[in-house]
Amino acid sequence: GEFKDIEINTGDEIEELADVFNDMMHKKQEYLEGQERFVSDVSHELRTPLAVLDGHINLLLRWGKDDPKQLTESLEASRQEIKKMSNMIQDMLDIARLKHTDRSELEYISVACSMSDLVTNFRIVHPTFDIELENKLISPGKALIHKNHYDQAMTILLDNAVKYSGKIGNYIKVTLSEDDDMIITKVLDHGLGICKEDQAYIFERFFRADKARNREIGGTGLGLAIIKNIAQIYKGSISVESQVGKGAVFTFKIPKNKEKI
């Protein structure tokens, strides 16, 4: 880097400072490249629903006035595409906002309290699902994370557990536990599962496993990317274990101690 070329004979501090500067420049560069990739991914992903929308508008122009069936069909389909785009934009805004997370006002939250509220709501919204909550925490289970981020991550996991249960299962189990450093939340389902090859990619934005299957199941491919971002902010982790046809278990970990962040 350019800073390395500066003659330094005033001691280690300046050399250290130069290193910090170089590091900052690299981070900035990486960030800009990341932004560029993000914008290009997004435009690509929005193009498909826009093309479908355009197709339906053409159908409407040609047949809509005389064919009431075509009219209803194309309007319904258009509305779906608009919903898709609006979900995508919402998810992308969420990802963008995560980058500006303020950690200065962080407080410990009780994951047991948060999860218990989420599960209560979940039962109301999905009465046909059997959801179990097991609390194996031995401490008060305090984790250093913004409550809305924990709730958002867990809502995505629970929604996915429902969506990808397909017709196979209706059982979901949430387990809270801990090790020395981490508060651990596991969300298990008995649904469609994810094949080994895809497991490595599902946390990348816009990746959706099994195209054929997913055509019927709505989604943006951004949910798990949002969780990955949240995990990164708090120096936590997200991982998956799964077998096709047997279901999936997602494990979300966040540090217990402030010093670890």
Query: Among 232, 241, 230, 205, which Cα is nearest to 155's?
Result: 230
Are residues 49 and 81 in contact, defined by beta-carbon separation less than 8 angstroms?
yes
Binding of ligand ADP by 92 (CB under 6 A): no
CB of 166 to ligand ADP, least distance (A): 9
Rank residues 41 and 210 by Cβ distance to ligand ADP and give the closer one.
210
* H or E element at residue 82: helix 68-98
Q: Which of residues 160-219 bind ligand ADP (CB under 6 A)?
A: 160-161, 164, 189, 191-194, 202, 207-210, 214, 219
Residue with smaller CB distance to ligand ADP, 56 or 228: 228
The nearer residue to ligand ADP, 184 or 222, going by C-beta atoms, is: 222
* Minimum distance from residue 253 beta carbon to ligand ADP (Å): 17
CB 161, CB 131: distance < 8 Å: no
Phi-psi category of 250—alpha, beta or left, where left has phi over 0 and alpha has psi -120 to 50? beta
CB closer to ligand ADP out of 164 and 256: 164
| Rg (the chain; Cα; Å) | 23
Give yes or no for a contact between 114 and 151, defined as CB atoms under 8 angstroms apart: yes
Subset of residues 131 to 150 that bind ligand ADP, contact rule: CB under 6 A: none
Find all residues with CB under 8 Å of 137, minimum gap 6, and list them.
111, 112, 176, 177, 178, 183
Total residues contacting ligand ADP by CB under 6 A comes to 23
Q: Give the binding range for ligand ADP (CB under 6 A) out of 24-32, 58-66, 171-179, 221-229.
A: 221-229
* 223 lies in the binding site for ligand ADP (CB under 6 A): yes
Residue 238 CB, nearest approach to ligand ADP (Å): 11
Q: Whole-number minimum distance, CB 137 to ligand ADP, in Å?
A: 23
Pick the binder of ligand ADP from 53, 248, 252, 255 (CB under 6 A).
Answer: 248
Tally of CA atoms within 13 A in the half-sphere of 97 that contains its CB: 10
Q: Is 141 left (phi over 0), alpha (psi -120 to 50) or beta?
A: left
Binding site for ligand ADP (CB under 6 A): 156, 160-161, 164, 189, 191-194, 202, 207-210, 214, 219-225, 248
